[in-house]
Amino acid sequence: MTPQKLYEGKAKIVWATENPGEVAQQFKDDATAFDGKKKGQIAGKGARNARISAVLFRLLEENGVATQLLDQIFDDTLLCKKLDMYPVEVVVRNYAAGSICKRLGFEEGARFKAPLLEFFLKDDSLGDPLVTDAHIAELELVSGEELAEIKRLALKINSVLTGFFAERGVMLVDFKLEFGKDREGDIILGDEISPDTCRFWDANTKKKLDKDRFRRDLGEVEEAYAEMLKRVEK
Ligand code: TMP
Ligand code: ASP
CB 99 near ligand 1, within 6 Å: yes
Indicate the DSSP class of residue 66. -
pLDDT (tens digit per residue) in 185-234 = 999 999 999 999 999 999 999 999 999 999 999 999 999 999 999 999 99
CB 176 near ligand 1, within 6 Å: yes
Superfamily of domain 5-81: Phosphorylase Kinase; domain 1 (3.30.200.20)
Average pLDDT, the chain: 98
Instruction: Please report the DSSP string for 134-172 in residue order.
Output: HHHHHTTSS-HHHHHHHHHHHHHHHHHHHHHHHTTTEEE
Structural class in CATH, domain 84-220? alpha beta
Contacts of 138 (CB under 8 A, 6+ apart): none
**Residues 202, 228: contact at Cβ < 8 Å?**
no
Ligand at minimal distance from the CA of 9 is 2
CA 146 to CA 149: how far, in whole Å? 5
Q: Closest ligand 1 atom to the C-alpha of 118?
A: 4
Q: Closest ligand 1 atom to the C-alpha of 210?
A: 10
CB 198 near ligand 1, within 6 Å: yes
Residue 56 pLDDT more than 70?
A: yes
| Domain range summary for the chain, segments of one domain joined by + | 5-81, 84-220
CA 25 to CA 72: how far, in whole Å? 10
Residue 181 pLDDT more than 70?
A: yes
Residue 2 pLDDT more than 80?
A: no
pLDDT (tens digit per residue) in 95-127 = 999 999 999 999 999 999 999 999 999 999 999
Residue 1 pLDDT more than 90?
A: no
Question: Is 0.85 topped by the overall pTM?
Answer: yes
* Interval between CA 115 and ligand 2 midpoint (Å): 22
- Mean pLDDT across the stretch 16-38? 96
Q: Tell me, what amino acid is at 41?
A: Q
